[in-house]
């Protein structure tokens, strides 16, 4: 019997441990952690705010976080009943 679903682990460069923040409308996913680490290291070199950022808040911290992506039909069939507010 063929497998109905396939899980894929993808890596994201997160700001303050969040993949999507209120000011983010899109993001990039990376298949390999090493690629995400390289992108993250480029982002974390800065220690000051950008001109448009709120200077009263701390500089955002970028980290690489891994997530398993599931197909929408799997979510609807299995996971939806375990998610609050959906």
Could you give the C-alpha distances from 55 to 48, 60, 61, 63, in angstroms and in order? Answer: 9, 11, 14, 21
Q: What is the pLDDT of residue 1?
A: 63
* Tens digit of each residue's pLDDT (9 = 90 or more) over 2-12: 777 888 999 99
* Tens digit of each residue's pLDDT (9 = 90 or more) over 28-80: 899 999 999 999 887 777 778 888 888 898 887 889 999 998 889 998 998 89
Q: What is the pLDDT of residue 32?
A: 96
Q: What is the pLDDT of residue 54?
A: 86
Strand blocks (E) in 1-86? 8-15, 29-30, 62-69
Kindly state the average pLDDT of the residues 19-31.
83
Question: Considering the domain boundaries, does residue 3 fall inside one?
Answer: no
Question: Considering the domain boundaries, does residue 44 fall inside one?
Answer: yes
Question: Considering the domain boundaries, does residue 2 fall inside one?
Answer: no
As for how many domains the chain has, the answer is: 1
Question: Considering the domain boundaries, does residue 78 fall inside one?
Answer: yes
Q: What is the pLDDT of residue 45?
A: 73
Supply the Cα-derived Rg of the chain in whole angstroms.
Answer: 17
On whether the CB atoms of residues 40 and 62 are closer than 8 A, the answer is yes
Q: What is the pLDDT of residue 86?
A: 56
Q: What is the pLDDT of residue 64?
A: 93
Question: Considering the domain boundaries, does residue 1 fall inside one?
Answer: no
Domain, as residue range, for 13: 8-82
């Amino acid at each position: 019997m063929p497998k109905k679903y396939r899980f894929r682990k993808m890596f994201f460069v997160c700001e303050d441990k969040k993949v999507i923040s209120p000011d983010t409308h899109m993001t990039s996913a990376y298949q390999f952690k090493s690629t995400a680490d390289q992108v993250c290291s480029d982002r974390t070199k800065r220690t000051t705010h950008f001109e448009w950022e709120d200077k009263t808040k701390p500089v955002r911290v970028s980290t690489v976080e891994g997530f398993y992506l599931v197909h929408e039909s799997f979510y609807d069939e299995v996971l939806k009943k375990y998610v609050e507010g959906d």
